Amino acid sequence: MNAEQTRSKLAALPLSINARYVLWNRLETMPVYVGTAKAPSRIKSHLQKDDKRVGPLGKLIVNKPFYEYVMNQPIGWLGISFDLFEDDDDARQAERDDIARFGMRPNGTLFNRRAGG
């Protein structure tokens, strides 16, 4: 989903969720980050990466390679997918599975800093 589609879908969710999300480079159909969320606002906070020119990027600066990658992307590059789970443990397991499947850089495509979620 692009940023607007993600905003719409998130607005329909309850305030408390158990989700695993994947940030994608839509232009290259490549996953770049996997995480978990207990609230839709956590996923929504990533939408600012799509148009980096309109505000701060939060804690992204601590992940310097990902920060530099985001800063070099054009507006509209970001895609987000997410799945909802019954509990946090299931969401975290899905996160670990995706990190193992896609791999972290330099050999994989993800900018995650830890394989364990």
Task: Provide the domain count of the chain.
Answer: 1
Judge whether 51 lies within some domain.
Answer: yes
In a domain, 38, yes or no: yes
Decide if pLDDT at 88 tops 90. Answer: yes
- Please give the distance of CA 104 from its chain centroid, rounded to a whole number: 14
Q: What is the pLDDT of residues 48-59, one digit of tens each?
A: 899 866 566 777
Q: What is the C-alpha separation between 37 and 16, in angstroms, rounded?
A: 9
In a domain, 41, yes or no: yes
More confident residue, 18 or 53: 18
In CATH, what number is assigned to the domain containing residue 55? 3.40.1440
Is 23 within the bounds of a domain?
yes
Task: Give domain status of residue 114, yes or no.
Answer: no
Comparing CA positions, the residue from 36, 11, 9, 38 lying closest to residue 23 is: 36
Range of the domain at 32: 3-102
